[in-house]
Amino acid sequence: MEQMEMICFNLISSVGMAKSSYVEAMREAAKGAFDEAAAKMKEGDAFYAKGHDSHSDLIAQEANGEAVAFSLLLMHAEDQMMSTETIRLMAEENIKLYQRLTEMEGK
């Protein structure tokens, strides 16, 4: 496997794991398990950071004047990264909504 493919697969795998963690965080929050939700968000961030390193390597390569060749795989990897970032942001908001709901249900 070429180095570029390797980077893309690493990126896809890391941000995919991060995405799963963020989704699980929302599911924990739905159960009222807010500590578990916070732990899942943190777990997701650790996976995401790994993926983001691969992405940064590519950005640095291009910035150094070494063109990064296009491939569908690369596009897919970058798309996965961005969608994971969006899901992280929305998961955070979701958890807050569950906190409010849970507080209200307690009253």
Question: Which residues participate in catalysis according to the annotation?
Answer: 76
The smaller minimum CB distance to its own copies, of residues 42 and 100, is found at: 100
What one-letter code names the amino acid at 42?
K
Binding flag, residue 58, its own copies (CB under 8 A): yes
User: Rounded distance, CA 25 to CA 45, Å?
Assistant: 12
- Two tokens at 58? 């590519």
- Two tokens at 83? 């969608």
The smaller minimum CB distance to its own copies, of residues 3 and 104, is found at: 104
Residue 59 CB-density burial (10 A; 0-12 exposed, 13-18 middle, 19+ buried): exposed
Contact pick of 4, 23, 33, 39 for its own copies (by CB under 8 A)? 23
Binding flag, residue 49, its own copies (CB under 8 A): no
Which range touches its own copies (CB under 8 A), out of 9-17, 34-42, 43-51, 66-74? Answer: 66-74
